[in-house]
Structure 1
């Protein structure tokens, strides 16, 4: 079974990036796949983490390019994003400068699929990725056909023979879940591709609540008709979400349809809680995980298999932003297990996220103007490493305490070095006393340093 996956991207004059290339190595996990492939983007504020996600998401968005998130970050007529996948490649950008329909990209020759000179944008693809009729032969459906299909797909229309082998979705760590009135149990007419790559607007609270109501009502109707297997199918879908929430939050969460008045509520460890009053972190997780479930359930997939095992490309922009560190440690392993055939790209500031997954890749994006070389190399993720080591290796932070305490330590070490030469302990003891008032942990470090200084000088130095 051939899976779609991105292999490289190159950005020129886009956001903070002058000229950068990133290659995405495959997961080293042997078949069969049991965990999603994960790529983590880290770095200081303003280093381009979100820009990079927007650039990747635009590859899969509907073909009305021109008002997307990434276009706002184009800096000139030469701004471009080149990309490659297994077996094909392409490029999009501000201005198509080639004399004919062909353009030489970072990864090979591509043909202009969309070239709007009036609006100054283009999208070029290799021949194998250009549109072709569905069912016209060949082993795979090309990217351009999938993008075109997203524009016209309607869930309520007859699906016919049209199926797609992969789909992409993007979310940010927002908290959008709210109480929405359920007017009736009715079919959802929204396309699974509606704002699917918008990040901030991907989650649709009204659709989410309606979908839960439909799911619970259909399960109940199936049971009343004696169709227990059908009812169990509906239970399994919501059960996947509940299990993920259990894995991440260690909470027993069920979604229920209340009869009078009709409303969707959450039961958390046996207590019914309205959506509006859920903790922000829980709102965030439920919002995007449930929305993703709704979407992948509605996609007409080529492969006849469990919907959570479909070939998904997922972009997550700082989904850890509202989460307690304990939940940050668990969110990616849970998603990695839930979507075993997905390729997931994540931006994060959290060492707990970076340290939470094994068999993943981390890309440390430098501050603007401090990039060394054009290629940003991946490093193995941090599962099995201490948080202290992750902070130093990945985030470039070797300090262990708050800023004020670190400043006091800096002054203490200056006075210690001066004492080793002058043998006058007065200033060293004043500095040491200021430090030990911070905490017992700090006192242990200071007393150890004083004992070492005493041994080296032969002069006993001790706190009062």
Structure 2
């Protein structure tokens, strides 16, 4: 399953001229939603998740949708159009006709004030009228066959409350839990890996005792470890094994091993994310289809959609540059839709897949960036991306450096006009040596000097 179009109307800040109508590449790859704080990146990601999950997932989430509809609007709607993979996405009912593009969507309505309890209005939710029955028998089925989708919020913890994001009387919508609840964790993925370890030991014991039993856990655990070991962790660290105590890591060239849980947030969150994606894919399909990456590593080949909010959270810039390429290489048939404040995450975006969300004060809709801006971000430096209209950063320098650079321009004008005193010349030389600049910055500084000369 892949998303080809997303529409939001009267959902939080997405109303009127800011309503969403995005056409996305209906294929695997790396789609980035970029924008300032409060531009609605998380809201857009959550809305996509709810449309893909359907009414049962929405009801199961213990999330507060009180402010979901735009202020003074009576209804809010989200619609997502998806295309299916005939080999992977099937229907629970044989009579359903497969369509080229399936519409999935939900609508929230404010109840009349007379029916609200003590002034608290609980929104009424229902599928859009245009949603075909295929949705109920496909991605919205109680136990979907394929139609893989998972979502992750910025707090991707290995410890915490498992299943905290669902109510007790419904099945836990685990694939989307952390996208809506900060206290939900990915600890279940580690428990799954530990369970594989125990089952592997049981299979080995049965084999030693001469019992004929198909080995399932051992090969599956080997695939998981091969994936985690294939350059996922930076700085020459590597996941070595999985035991009853969890994941163990070592540094290249050293024999000592230590638990992953003792490492920094960056290591833990990335390992937990990848491990959970693998667990969710295996849980949805019942097996892992694997193949080699271009470098000879292990890739998981099943299709689907993975949503990640603030994918750059806890990651050093060197890791931010690599994470998009790593995930695409090891999940080559997954459509990743991520949000980020990092220019390095944006540099991995596919063509027609870098989307700018205007700020809350801008009366514009989210849109795919122009080809010129895309090339500047993807093929330029990190500074080029940060200084572009995608991020709106006015300068890459500190406020102290900016003051000194303005002084440098003033002194440079005097030096070239031969009106600088001896002290000013000395100050100019000191600042020129102190304030080393890139070619792009020097061009801007010279332009500022020329502007003053007019």
Within the candidate set 219, 230, 237, 1:243 is matched to 230
Q: CA RMSD in A?
A: 4.1
* 1:236 CA displacement: 0.9
Q: Deviations over 1:14-67 (max 9, x none)?
A: 13655322423316xxxxx7xx32221112222111121122112133141886
Question: For 1:89, what is the secondary structure of its paired residue?
Answer: strand
In structure 2, the CA distance between the partners of 1:313 and 1:244, relative to structure 1 (3 Å rule), is farther
Question: For 1:287, what is the secondary structure of its paired residue?
Answer: helix
* 1:147 CA displacement: 2.9
What pairs up with 1:103-122 in 2 under 5 angstroms? Answer: 119-122=122-125
Corresponding residue number in structure 1 for 2:13:
15
In structure 2, the CA distance between the partners of 1:169 and 1:179, relative to structure 1 (3 Å rule), is closer
In structure 2, the CA distance between the partners of 1:125 and 1:84, relative to structure 1 (3 Å rule), is same
CA contact (8 A) 1:38 1:345 kept: yes
* 1:392 CA displacement: 2.7
What TM-score, normalized by structure 1, do the two folds share? 0.69
Q: Which runs of 5+ in 1 are unaligned?
A: 28-32, 98-117, 131-140, 154-162, 181-189, 458-464
Corresponding residue number in structure 2 for 1:252:
238
Question: For 2:67, what is the secondary structure of its paired residue?
Answer: helix
* 1:266 CA displacement: 0.9
Corresponding residue number in structure 1 for 2:219:
232
Corresponding residue number in structure 1 for 2:95:
none
CA contact (8 A) 2:25 2:353 kept: no
What pairs up with 1:383-422 in 2 under 5 angstroms? Answer: 383-393=378-388, 394-397=390-393, 399-414=395-410, 416-417=412-413
Within the candidate set 70, 73, 80, 1:75 is matched to 70
* 1:449 CA displacement: 7.7
CA contact (8 A) 1:179 1:275 kept: no
CA contact (8 A) 1:40 1:348 kept: yes
Corresponding residue number in structure 1 for 2:191:
210
Partner Cα distance (1:193, 1:453) in 2: 60
* 1:10 CA displacement: 2.5
In structure 2, the CA distance between the partners of 1:312 and 1:348, relative to structure 1 (3 Å rule), is same
Q: Does 1:266 align with 2:248?
A: yes
Partner Cα distance (1:428, 1:365) in 2: 46
CA contact (8 A) 2:69 2:75 kept: yes
Q: Does 1:288 align with 2:286?
A: no
Q: Deviations over 1:397-417 (max 9, x none)?
A: 352422221232234335545
* 1:349 CA displacement: 0.7
Within the candidate set 83, 90, 95, 2:109 is matched to 95
Partner Cα distance (1:192, 1:242) in 2: 30
Partner Cα distance (2:150, 2:158) in 1: 18
Partner Cα distance (1:179, 1:364) in 2: 33
In structure 2, the CA distance between the partners of 1:363 and 1:224, relative to structure 1 (3 Å rule), is same
Partner Cα distance (2:62, 2:191) in 1: 30
Question: For 1:234, what is the secondary structure of its paired residue?
Answer: helix
CA contact (8 A) 1:92 1:121 kept: no
What TM-score, normalized by structure 2, do the two folds share? 0.71
Q: Deviations over 1:77-100 (max 9, x none)?
A: 435233231423354343279xxx
Aligned length: 387
* 1:330 CA displacement: 1.0
* 1:435 CA displacement: 3.4
CA contact (8 A) 1:65 1:121 kept: no
Within the candidate set 174, 187, 193, 2:173 is matched to 193
Q: Which moves more between the two structures, 430-439 or 356-365?
A: 430-439
Question: For 1:45, what is the secondary structure of its paired residue?
Answer: coil
Partner Cα distance (1:80, 1:179) in 2: 33
Corresponding residue number in structure 2 for 1:125:
128
Corresponding residue number in structure 2 for 1:363:
355
CA contact (8 A) 1:11 1:21 kept: yes
